[in-house]
Amino acid sequence: MNSNLTADRATFVTHLECSITGERYEADQLHGLSRAGRPLLVRYDLEAVRASLPKRMLETRPTDLWRWRELLPVRHTGNIVSLGEIETPLVPIPKSGGPNVLVKDEGRLPTGSFKARGLVMAVAMAKELGVTRIAMPTNGNAGAALAAYATRCGIETIVFCPDDTPEINVREIAMQGARVWRVNGLIDDCGAIVGKGAAEGRWFDFSTLKEPYRIEGKKTMGLELAAQFGWTLPKAIFYPTGGGTGLIGMWKAFDELEKLGWIGSERPKMFAVQASGCAPIVKAFEEGLEHAERWEDAATVAAGIRVPKAVGDFLILRAVRESGGQALAVGDPAILAAVEACAKKDGLLLCPEGGATLAAYTQALHTGLVDEEDDVVLFNCATGLKYPMPEAPQALDRTRPIDFDAL
């Protein structure tokens, strides 16, 4: 454990509040959704944070997720669970993206995806609040992160995933100590099972945004971006959006940083990227709605954004609209072409969801939503090594004459 975590501390959390009604809830108590059935947001005494954490002090710390501890909810460092959550790099992709396009490569995190950010925080808080058994629906990477962190601190975990979840995800969830069940349905069907078990008192429901702390882990993406950009922000962010926790979290992070006086009021255009085979947020955005209807018969190669209905839909839409951004849908052929282009031209292997952001950026560039001169960040949410790749069948018989010109 690094030196950031050696001293116990009090958190700067003051309370939680309903994201739709503003109703106040006590901190240090176990909460799911608010009484209105909406996500709870964690609130901090930001004046006290500013007094106790000068920016120069932050800048001397190791650049990992826990450098932001004053803006995170874990009260006692003894409850932190960690597998080494690094600050992820910004990787240029000048050939497939353009001269001002950077990929924030979240595949470098533990368990190979940005789900580690949210789940490390949620599990640490579950430990702090005495949870002993957790269940969660997943399209793959979230289940792997939950299994790893929960196993590390001794919390029992049951994970439900659609039966066409990538095999490597199912196996890594099981290998890291969870009981994993394949379900003949989509992620919201899995979520219904989790919800029913939670209502019967069998486990605590860790579905996206149904506990308050995954947002707090995911918001570190926005905190990191601000620091990496020298306390400014890029012109646009393209984010693969299923449940949308990271987009919501980054929007919250920017607000907190402005209140600390560390950034100004300018915000990036937030682009919520979905697959055309599952685009409920895009449909709601285009129709001017605050909530998205469930997307029927959802299908896409980008399993991580195959979320037919998101409980935080209104928060995603609010951030996109307030930022002057858009919700964009891209087809599977464009997603796969973007993955191939980035790998073969720039040497960076994206996951399909990351490919969706590159495809959406290309679309936005062509339609004038962004300019080539704009500093843009695309989120690659997981290592491409977890996903199927085209076969490479060529073989060479060393016992026969070799045609070196043909090689």
Asked if residue 148 lies in contact with residue 183, where contact means CB atoms within 8 angstroms, the answer is no
The three-class DSSP label of residue 276 is coil
For residue 11, the model assigns a pLDDT of 80
Fold match, 90-113+214-386 / 115-205: yes
Alpha carbon distance 111, 172 (integer Å): 9
Residue 257, Cβ density class (10 Å: 0-12 exposed, 13-18 middle, ≥19 buried):
buried
The three-class DSSP label of residue 56 is helix
Taking all residues of the chain, what is their mean pLDDT, rounded to a whole number? Answer: 95
Identify the CATH class of 115-205.
alpha beta
Per residue in 372-394, pLDDT (tens digit) is: 999 999 999 999 999 989 999 99
Alpha carbon distance 146, 120 (integer Å): 8
Residue 9 has pLDDT above 70, yes or no: no
For residue 82, the model assigns a pLDDT of 96
Report the percentage of the chain scoring pLDDT > 70.
Answer: 98
Residue 233: pLDDT band (50, 70, 90) is very high
Residue 307 has pLDDT above 90, yes or no: yes
Residue 273, Cβ density class (10 Å: 0-12 exposed, 13-18 middle, ≥19 buried):
buried
Contacts with 172 (C-beta within 8 Å, 6 or more apart), sequence order: 111, 144, 147
Average pLDDT over residues 47-76: 95
Measure CA of the first residue to CA of the last residue in the chain; give whole Å.
49
Residue 3: pLDDT band (50, 70, 90) is very low
Residue 62 has pLDDT above 50, yes or no: yes
Per residue in 181-213, pLDDT (tens digit) is: 999 999 999 999 999 999 999 999 999 889 999
Other beta carbons less than 10 A from residue 23's beta carbon: 14
> Which is nearest to 114 in space by CA: 252, 1, 245, 278?
245
* pTM, 2 dp: 0.94
| Sheet arrangement for strand 156-162 | 179-183, 156-162, 133-137, 204-205
Largest CA distance in the chain: 78
Q: Where are the domains of the chain?
A: 3-62, 90-113+214-386, 115-205
Residue 5: pLDDT band (50, 70, 90) is very low
For residue 374, the model assigns a pLDDT of 98
Residue 77 has pLDDT above 50, yes or no: yes
Asked if residue 166 lies in contact with residue 386, where contact means CB atoms within 8 angstroms, the answer is yes
Average pLDDT over residues 130-148: 96
Average pLDDT over residues 337-361: 98
Alpha carbon distance 92, 102 (integer Å): 4
Average pLDDT over residues 78-99: 97
Architecture of the domain delimited by 90-113+214-386: 3-Layer(aba) Sandwich (3.40)
For residue 8, the model assigns a pLDDT of 55
Residue 267 has pLDDT above 80, yes or no: yes
Average pLDDT over residues 158-167: 94
Alpha carbon distance 302, 338 (integer Å): 12
Alpha carbon distance 94, 301 (integer Å): 25
